[in-house]
Amino acid sequence: MPELIKLVMSLGGDRNLRGLASAEPADERRVRLRFRSLALLLCFWLGSARAQDSATDPTRVVDSLNASPPTLLARRIENFTLRDSRGARHSLEDYARAPAIVVVFLGTECPLAVTYAPRLATLAAEFGPQGVIFLGVNSNRQDSLAEIDQFSRQHELPFPVLKDASASIAEQFGAQRTPQAFVLDNQRVVRYVGRIDDQYGLTDGGTFQRPRVLRRDLAIALDEVLSGQVVSQPETTATGCLIARQRAAQSDSPVTWSRQISRLFQDHCQSCHRADNIAPFPLLTYQDVLGWEDMILEVVAKRRMPPWHADPQYGSFANDCRLRDDEIDLVRQWVEHGAPEGDVADAPAPRQFTEGWDIPQPDLVVQMSDQPFVIPQKDNLEYQFFVVDPGLREDCWVQAAECRAGNRSVVHHITVFAVPPEVQVDIHGPNLFRYAFVGTSPGGKPCLFPPGVARLLSAGTRFIFEIHYTPRGRAETDLSSLGLKFVEAGQVRRPVQTVIAMNTALDIPPMVPDYVAATDCALTDDVELLLLNPHMHLRGRSFRFTAMFPNGRAEVLLDVPQYDFNWQHNYVLAESKRLPRGTVIRCEGHFDNSPQNLSNPDPASRVRWGDQTWQEMLVACFVVIPDHDDPQWVYAGPTGPSMPPAEAPRAELAIGLGIAGLSLVFAGVLLRWVTIRRRKVPTIITQT
């Protein structure tokens, strides 16, 4: 199940259901920032969230392009004069008496610059009384004065942000990315260059996000400069967006935006990169793209974008969003030729997106609470839960379901569980997974079943919203919701079933780089497999599903060699797969609890099962469509212990009608399964 999410509970207007405190409602909803949240920065730095192979130095950070040249240190910066977003002139010589000056390069839409803006404001307030001056510089060609002014106002920056239209100041400093900080001493000599702190970075395996800051590099450098000491770590790698410099487009380029690149972006990028969606900026038009060409090439060439984590040698998936090698080469040629627009007559018609709900107009909309939830000003927030009674007075069959984030800039994942009225469930316990219904994640799609296929909701069913928020350093609010489209019972021929297998006996020792746990799912009848979904937390390293057939043949159904907690995919089979009676599905996960895993909250701790990100899970989700007339749950078996794969027991399994985890399947893909021949009712069991 996709990266599971946590929220304070509320039931309709009842805020204290079964002793579970709800969130304090906000008095009013604050205006949503235009710029995207901390979680969204992953749209540009997607990776494996761990450095598995940096054996010599577990905290070594590798810059994907290049670190600031060593010659930048100990250089004297010549005076310059620039105007801020309101037209006021600022010269370096204006601050001749300042003991130190921080010059930080920023971009208005760079997700990491957005994330660090509140931290820079805090640093300016911390060091201002000591006479330190902070200056922001924007050298991006695409950022206008109005956008810079809006950025400064929205983030309440107490220092000016200057426009470097020619990027000449970026050239003098040698600045390459945003945010990138330079500390000048009282002689205007560069004493420090690099990142603001160490919470985000690039590794050999991709990207990482530490649960908390371990080293405040900029603050430490300032303390040392002010006290007359040698800066202990004068240079660090700045991770962020490339500064967008002017470039000349080749008019005779065979690759243009209009002819090829716009079509690639329509197919692979625009479902997320559009207004009011999860990505940090739109990529719908040529004007949208200008300034992002180099950054696009970097993330595409390194396959951080589009986000996809399945090993291509196993399985075929309908929602595989990877670019082919020849398509990546087209992007490379286009950028190297100056990103020409070409003849607009060659451009395709704009892609049309549904406004509002992506499913047909819902018959019922269920809000997670009757009041918005306030996301506090903090780096990390536990999963939050809300319990809601939707008022179902009779059984209902769901044809389509969609989770909608109220504030996409801070909502990373939502999972909704549908709990029958007779069931009492611990929201922090593993049994909650048995009732997985629907959800959403970055780039995910809603559930829209084909005719004749539906999911049953019993009368009296309660919904539990489980939400993972990614705070952005300032208070935000959210009021997410669930939309349901019903179908008459007489039109339902086959219900969907969700199978959840898990191992709750995890016991990961401290400092272990490769702990293995597994769980088996045994089928006692034929099923048609539609979807697979693995779920672990921050120590998750890899996940593999292997079908072991009755005839002794084994087949890898899905292999995720670099599991990324920040991107939770449903893997929708391009064609449904028949799994005969007697098949055992081995679900094997590897965990890295060592310092080499830079996302590890605490390598020195022993880790067991739990729903918070600093704990761990091993959950495998399957979706099948049997020819089933009985819509009730079937459940058997306790959880077995963790051990090497060869000895792994068969563990807990829960079967339920429903949609597995997040943003289940594309409607068009599901249609091909409507004609699957009818089969007898399957029974799925596990043993310990």
CATH topology of domain 70-242: Glutaredoxin (3.40.30)
Residue 206: what pLDDT?
Answer: 60
* Span 305-336, pLDDT tens digits: 998 999 999 999 988 999 999 999 999 999 99
In this predicted model, which residue has the larger pLDDT, 177 or 44?
177
Both structure tokens of 446: 């809603």
Which segment of 6-20, 36-50, 373-387, 588-602 scores lowest on mean pLDDT?
Answer: 6-20
Query: Domain 17-27+357-494 adopts which CATH fold?
Result: Jelly Rolls (2.60.120)
> How many Cα atoms sit within 13 Å of 42 on the Cβ side?
25
CA distance 450 to 664: 13
- If you average pLDDT over residues 384-398, what whole number do you get? 95
Instruction: Give 648's pLDDT tier (boundaries 50, 70, 90).
Output: very low
* Cβ-proximal residues to 278 (8 Å cutoff; 6+ apart), any chain: 36, 40, 43, 272, 408, 442, 443
Q: Give percent of the chain above pLDDT 90.
A: 57
**HSE value, Cβ hemisphere, 13 Å, CA-based, for 11:** 14
- Where is pLDDT greater, at 393 or 494? 393
Considering only 21-30, 216-225, 504-513, which range has the smallest mean pLDDT?
21-30
Mean pLDDT to the nearest integer, 328-353: 94
Tell whether the model's pLDDT for residue 27 goes beyond 50. Answer: no
- Of the given ranges (128-137, 343-352, 472-481), which has the lowest mean pLDDT? 472-481
In terms of DSSP bridges, do strands 206-209 and 177-178 run parallel, antiparallel, or are they unpaired? unpaired
Range among 276-285, 325-334, 435-444 rated most confident: 325-334
* pLDDT for the residue 44: 34
For the entire predicted model, the pTM comes to 0.75
Residue 65: pLDDT over 70: no
Close Cβ partners of 235 (under 8 Å, ≥ 6 residues apart): 67, 68, 70, 72, 73, 192, 193, 194
With H, G, I as helix, E, B as strand and everything else as coil, classify residue 340: coil
Domain boundaries, the chain: 17-27+357-494, 70-242, 257-340, 495-685
Q: What is the mean pLDDT of the chain?
A: 80
The phi, psi pair for 89, rounded to 5°, reads: -90, 140
More confidently predicted of 571 and 431:
571
Mean pLDDT, range 591-605, rounded to an integer? 93
Count of Cβ atoms closer than 10 Å to residue 65 Cβ: 13
User: The dihedral of CA 345, 351, 356, 361: what is its sign?
Assistant: positive
- Dist CA 168 CA 80 (whole Å): 10
pLDDT class for 370, splitting at 50, 70, 90?
very high
Q: Which of 190-199, 493-502, 574-583 has the lowest mean pLDDT?
A: 493-502
Give the confidence band of 53 by pLDDT, cuts at 50, 70, 90: very low
pLDDT at 444: 66
Q: Report residue 411's pLDDT band, with 50, 70 and 90 as the boundaries.
A: confident
| End-to-end alpha carbon distance in the chain | 22
pLDDT-derived band at 232 (thresholds 50, 70, 90) equals: very high
Cβ atoms 46, 307 nearer than 8 A: yes
Task: Give the integer Cα–Cα distance in Å for 126 and 196.
Answer: 14
Each residue's pLDDT tens digit, 115-138: 899 999 999 999 999 999 999 999
Longest dimension (CA), the chain: 84
Beta bridge partners of 520: 586, 650
* Calpha distance 45→34 (Å, rounded): 20
CATH 3.90.25.10 fits 495-685, yes or no: no
- Look at residue 379 in the predicted model and tell me its pLDDT: 63
By the 8 A CB rule, do 499 and 621 touch? yes
Domains 17-27+357-494 and 495-685 share a fold: yes
Is residue 258 a contact partner of residue 266, using CB atoms and an 8 Å limit? no
Q: What pLDDT is attached to residue 442? A: 63
Strand-pair category, 411-419 with 436-440: antiparallel
Q: What angle do CA 411, 413, 414 make, to 5 degrees?
A: 100
Cβ atoms of 519 and 645 within 8 Å: the answer is no
How many whole angstroms from its chain centre is CA 197?
21
Q: Which residue has the higher pLDDT, 427 or 13?
A: 427
Determine the Cα–Cα distance for residues 263 and 351; give it in Å rounded to an integer. 9
pLDDT at 19: 30
pLDDT value of position 400: 92
pLDDT band at 204 (very low <50, low <70, confident <90, very high): low
For residues 386 and 7, the answer to whether their CB atoms sit within 8 Å is yes
